Amino acid sequence: MDDALTIRLADTESITSYSPIVSKDKRFLLCCSGCDVKVYSIRSGQCVHVLRGHQDLVTSVLFNPANQFQVLSSSLDGTIKRWNFEDGVLINTTTPRCLDSSTPLAVYGMYDLPNDKKHFIYLIKTSGGDNSEEKGGYRFLKQTVQMETWSTADFISTRTMKKLPSHVSIGGKGSFLAAIISTNEFDVFNLLKGGNSLRHRVSNDSNVVEVMQCLAKPTCLAAHPSEDCVAVGHADGKINIWSNVLSKKAKHSWVAWHALPVLSLKFTPEGAYLLSGGHESVLVKWCHGAYGNPAQREYLPRLGAPVAHINSSEDNSVYVTSHLDNSIKVVRNWIVVQIFQGLTRDHLSAGKDAFVAGVNFEPRSGALVLNGLPGHLQFYSLNEDTLLYNLDIVGQNYTSGDSLAHQHNYTRIELVDFTADGSWMVTVERWSGSYSEQCRMKLWFYDTETSSYVLNTDIDRPHQGGVASVRFSMCASEDDSQTIMLVSVGSADRKFKLWRITDSQSDGRKSGSSWRMESTGYYKNKNCLSAEFSDDGSILAVIFANSLTLWDPFENQLCTAFDLKSDIKSAKFCHGAQANYIAIATENDVILWDLLAYSEKYKWEGVSCKFLVVDPLSDFFLGFSANAGYIFSCSGDMKSIDFPSYARNITTAAFTTNKQATTAPHSVKRRVYLSSSTGSLLVVDDKDVAHRPDVTPTVEEASKNRLAKNYQQLTPLANLLAGNLVQQNRDSKAQIDSRRGLAATQLVQQIGETSCVAMPSINTLCRAFIHSLLMDTLPKSKRKQDEDSESEMEVESSDSENEEGVPRKPLVDDVSNAPQETAGRRLRKSDVLDFRNAWQKIK
């Protein structure tokens, strides 16, 4: 246990937290995803690059105003990175600082200036120095794009904002910046007043020229690209259009269609239309100003989830919408042409645990199974970072309510479990109304014809008051046959029930089998919390308050029980050679209990864990509370796991197995995935940043690694295979060099390995390439090979005579500067080679 562990965001983090952007040629879409930036191909829908390197959440991605083939990304780690997104390489990294402070400042966003190719604006949180009026506030700064010579930037505004501005937008051809500062106002910053100082702000006191009061809470805004106009969306569904915002006499008018709060607004690049979206899952297109009547609207309905962000391409031919279910839709000609779906989020579970069913591993496909769309389970591929499908469990339709405060109740999936081979799945769903509750347990079998799970048994109210836990087990019965058993634990009836599959054709189901309850059990009228089967299925452990009971699942007979001082939170059997141990987590301690010796093996006092998870392939097990984690060993060792700031309120965890793992150091056979109540998916990984998979290389590293990858072999067999592979590559390279010429081949390889941002001028490349082609392309090894193949060749003197017996005239006179051969004399092998070389020179 020498390796330090930490928790980081998984690659499945939300792709809709911030607005995505579209490349100028409309080939790529870029979006923030946790600590990374993902680059998608709009045509294929695949993720072509993942730009990794930030150590904290990425807050924005912006095209370099001076080079549209580069992007800038900002992060809470206090850095701004410049990337070549087409090649997927890092160009450089800059740490912005101000007020002569050496501490990196968290960057909360970047914004481009229209018609300005040299500068951009970014938002930082000041650390509070001697020159600042207020400490710990937020400020806008203007900075040049020449990040190699980054200097201290000046503030745009003279007043520090206490709250983080939201929905920042720049308009009026770069003359002003608008942002929502508080719950009842929005501010406008004049970027031109004061010349180059850029420190003036629009407000109504000595420092502020104008603050516009709104009738309802503002939720979003958008600035017109060429006019002094700002559109503000409100919580009541209205949209206020403010004009002449750079003066004290600003006027406004309102339009309305949305019944629920407006979440996003965006003017088209030419300013003729205004796009809006909200909880109705409809994209609305409004005419603006002199371009038409605002009452004229176009609708794109049934987008599937509330619209969180709207953006468009520069030529106004492509619209992009981000949705609260973690999907991005590309709209062309008012038709959805492409969908990018990340890990699905249930947008109806606001304020609740998004993954209430926890993190589950499906052994057949190796996918993570979590709550997806309302009433669905999503199967997410970890190897490909793509959503496989959403399985409808409940079978209900959902509609939005008349207000956010009166949303319709919907059925939620609370529990999921799979058999070891993935042939069966159990789900528990629950609906809670004002006067009644419904609970159903469904069992599904895997249909190989449809490659999906099909409903087999539907059980209404398996327990009174709901189900707290379900577990499958492959048990070996008395006749040595494998029997599938299921245990369910009631949350209110203080009982557990054992279920077994029975063969029956009476119900006419496709599988020819169904499930029935076999027995039930309880202990001293104590609350039943959870149950677990041992590795071989011969022992059933059931937790009753502070008592741990062990049962024979075939006879439903209590074998033994022991009481602890405090309530038990979790209990897990160890696997493999440590199958005789059971790990127990209480409110204050973690205990490793030896079932054979019936005594404590180890006890870690003062360690509070809410749940445990056991590694199926080693003697380690992990324990987690809401904000802490520990790794334990059956040999008595324990170490803590570092928790970053974004890893909070951990609810469930599960080990996953990678069937496609290799011997490469970055290929991991198994990992621990965690889910939080905020809807984030986390992974336990090595603390060393170098062990993080696929860290995006720099331009120089990419050029070096394209031919020779730093691949560390782990086994003697891998070293042997790698040596043979290197030798084969060298042999094939030598053959290619012998055919093409060494100089020309090396030049072509250098051109292919060099990034486009570091490529020299085309004149230099053309001159060097033509010069390499004019060199001799017949190596000595080739000449020697020709000599060996013709060692037995002889030419008769009669071949040099015609039918009349007259010697033929040689094609080339004095080929070797030797006397002419007389008739009847045999030619030497050197004569033939000299003739061939001379003929090649003539050709």
Tokens of 104: 């990196």
The secondary element (H helix, E strand) that includes residue 842 is helix 829-842
* Residues 412-426: tens digit of each pLDDT: 999 999 998 899 999
> Reduced to 3 DSSP states, what percent helix, strand and coil does the chain have, rounded to the nearest 5?
10, 40, 45
Tokens of 708: 């020779």
pLDDT at 821: 41
| Alpha-carbon span 413 to 374, nearest angstrom | 9
Distances (CA, A) of 276 to 219, 309, 327, 703, 808: 12, 9, 17, 44, 92
pLDDT > 80? residue 573? yes
Q: How many CB atoms lie within 10 A of CB 325?
A: 23
* Residues 696-751: tens digit of each pLDDT: 666 555 554 544 444 433 445 445 445 555 555 555 554 544 444 455 566 666 66
Of 595, 460, 629, which is closest to residue 7 (Cα–Cα)? 629
| Alpha-carbon span 371 to 343, nearest angstrom | 10
* Residues 12-68: tens digit of each pLDDT: 788 999 999 999 999 999 999 988 999 999 999 999 999 999 988 899 999 998 888
Greatest alpha-carbon pair distance for the chain in Å reads 124
Higher pLDDT among residues 216 and 165, named by residue: 165
Q: How confident is the model at residue 195 (pLDDT cuts 50, 70, 90)?
A: very low
Higher pLDDT among residues 184 and 221, named by residue: 221
Please, what is the average pLDDT of the chain? 78
| Alpha-carbon span 26 to 229, nearest angstrom | 28
| Alpha-carbon span 163 to 157, nearest angstrom | 14
* Residues 781-797: tens digit of each pLDDT: 555 555 555 554 444 44
Mean pLDDT value across residues 366-389: 89
Contact residues for 178 (Cβ-Cβ < 8 A; gap 6+): 168, 169, 170, 171, 186, 187, 188, 189, 221, 223, 230, 245
pLDDT > 80? residue 586? yes
Q: How confident is the model at residue 809 (pLDDT cuts 50, 70, 90)?
A: very low
Q: How confident is the model at residue 548 (pLDDT cuts 50, 70, 90)?
A: very high
Name all contacts of 723-726 with Cβ < 8 Å and 24+ positions apart: none
The whole-model pTM stands at 0.75
Higher pLDDT among residues 835 and 265, named by residue: 265
| Alpha-carbon span 392 to 546, nearest angstrom | 38
Termini Cα distance of the chain: 71
Tokens of 151: 């200097």
| Alpha-carbon span 83 to 591, nearest angstrom | 50
Mean pLDDT value across residues 109-137: 74
Higher pLDDT among residues 685 and 462, named by residue: 462
pLDDT at 386: 86
pLDDT > 50? residue 505? no
What are the helix and strand counts (H, E) for the chain?
6, 56
89 alpha carbon, distance to own chain's centre: 18
CB 137 within 8 A of CB 125: yes
Of 187, 195, 176, which is closest to residue 138 (Cα–Cα)? 187
Name all contacts of 175-181 with Cβ < 8 Å and 24+ positions apart: 175/228, 175/246, 176/202, 176/223, 176/228, 176/245, 176/246, 177/111, 177/121, 177/140, 177/223, 178/221, 178/223, 178/230, 178/245, 179/221, 180/218, 180/220, 180/221
Compute the residue count for the chain: 843
